[in-house]
Amino acid sequence: MGGVNAWIQTLVLIVVLGLLAGVLRWAFGNDRRAVPDYTGDDFGLLNEVAVVPTEEAARVLAKRLRTAGIKATAVRGAEPGAYRVMVFPVDVPDAKLLLRDV
């Protein structure tokens, strides 16, 4: 009787480990993103709404957007002397409209 119990325990362990592996693969194993971009042009979810030549100008524009309730950040671009104002995709139309007058 002890041999049958050991087989059942082993089978249950294999099934539980298989289910765990399946759940982990479902949760973490389907990453289809491209290879990371190390050039400095990949800002994830953020989209560019303005490019200006100085850091101070980028900070002023980002502050103007934040004052209007739009989450914005100023970052240095890959090319020298270019600073970008970045916002989330949902805020791009409003940000461009607000910065159009500048």
**Over the stretch 24-73, which tens digit does the pLDDT of each residue have?**
988 887 666 666 666 666 677 888 999 999 999 999 999 999 999 999 99
What phi and psi, each to the nearest 5 degrees, are found at residue 42? Answer: -95, 115
- Residues 6 or more apart whose Cβ sits within 8 Å of residue 20: none
Q: For 52, which DSSP code?
A: E
Check: CB of residue 87 under 8 Å from CB of residue 71. Answer: yes
Q: Kindly tell me if the per-residue pLDDT of 5 is higher than 80.
A: yes
Over residues 6-35, the pLDDT tens digits come to 889 999 999 999 999 999 988 887 666 666
Q: What are the DSSP E strand ranges found in 1-102? A: 47-52, 72-76, 83-87
What phi and psi, each to the nearest 5 degrees, are found at residue 75? Answer: -135, 155
